[in-house]
Amino acid sequence: MTGQRQEVMAALFVDMGVFASDRWVREPRAKYECVRCQTTEGPVKGADRVAEFVARIRTDHPANNCTANQQGAHAA
């Protein structure tokens, strides 16, 4: 490890929602904002989709969807 700077590259926003009286008063939702490529993924809604989104997005976006990542490696 040779002193890589740790910058904030993205922000993950998660709202777990409010469940009361057997229904969602406010549905869970999540979105991901990438600072590098200015892309927002989501928001997704619903407990299952939010859980899945949160579990994968931090690796999935840089690996598959981040244009800054793909271009930056060569053009920087």
Q: State the nearest-atom distance from the C-beta of 39 to Zn ion, in Å.
A: 5
Q: Are 47 and 55 in contact (CB under 8 A)?
A: no
By the rule CB under 5 A, 57 interacts with Zn ion = no
Q: Is 44 in the site for Zn ion (CB under 5 A)?
A: no
- Give the Å distances, CA to CA, from 24 to 20, 21, 48, 64: 6, 8, 13, 32
Using rule CB under 5 A, residue 34 touches Zn ion: yes
Q: Which is nearer to Zn ion, 27 or 41 (CB)?
A: 41
Q: How far is the CB of 7 from Zn ion (least distance, A)?
A: 13
Q: Is the dihedral of CA 37, 38, 39, 45 positive or negative?
A: positive
Give me the residues that bind Zn ion (CB under 5 A), please.
34, 36-37, 66
